[in-house]
Amino acid sequence: MIWSIFKEGAPRVSLKTVSDSKEPIKTMGGMTIVPDCLIGDIVVSETNLLLLPGANTWNDQRHGAIIKKADEFLSLGAAVCAICGATAALEGLGLLDQRPHTSNGPGFLEMVSPGYQGQNFYVDEPSVADDNLLTASSTGGLLWTKQIIERLGVFEANTLEAWYAYFSTGELEHFFALMQTLPSGNGN
């Protein structure tokens, strides 16, 4: 039996990995990724979403092109999602100075971005969604993912809530509630 958690008629989602070259990248976790396309190939569109994963290398100058692309996304109203160290990269370009955001706790952005000016917009929560900017701390990955899925519009609201309840608690009752929300044809 194949189950689909996506709602009927959900928009098609295509995930592309992006880099400044087509050379394989070894992540901090040891996984090797071969980029699908170059930064210059990214189409900035309101329907596209840019995910910036956490890392301790975001202050490296070689990431400047993708952060400028993030600025283009935000300016157009397209979504940018940054977690952990990627929030520091956004701050490096001043993209958090006037918008609600979060990061790895109060003081983190000041520590890694001496020019940080967004203290009045900092929200001490695991993940913050402000229109088309979604930021998260290193501990906010699950809530951040929920907010991204919500932005994509691929789950019914009750499915998303049941999914989040199950994965945030691990309680079996939420698993069965999740199964009851799935579209017809999924065996329920």
Task: Give the span between the Cα atoms of 37 and 17, in whole angstroms.
Answer: 7
Phi, psi of 11 (to 5 degrees): -60, 145
Active site residues: 84
Q: Which two tokens stand for residue 146?
A: 């929920």
Longest dimension (CA), the chain: 54
Amino acid letter, 78: A
Overall residue count recorded for the chain in this entry: 188
Please state at what angle helix 85-92 crosses helix 64-76, rounded to 10 degrees: 80
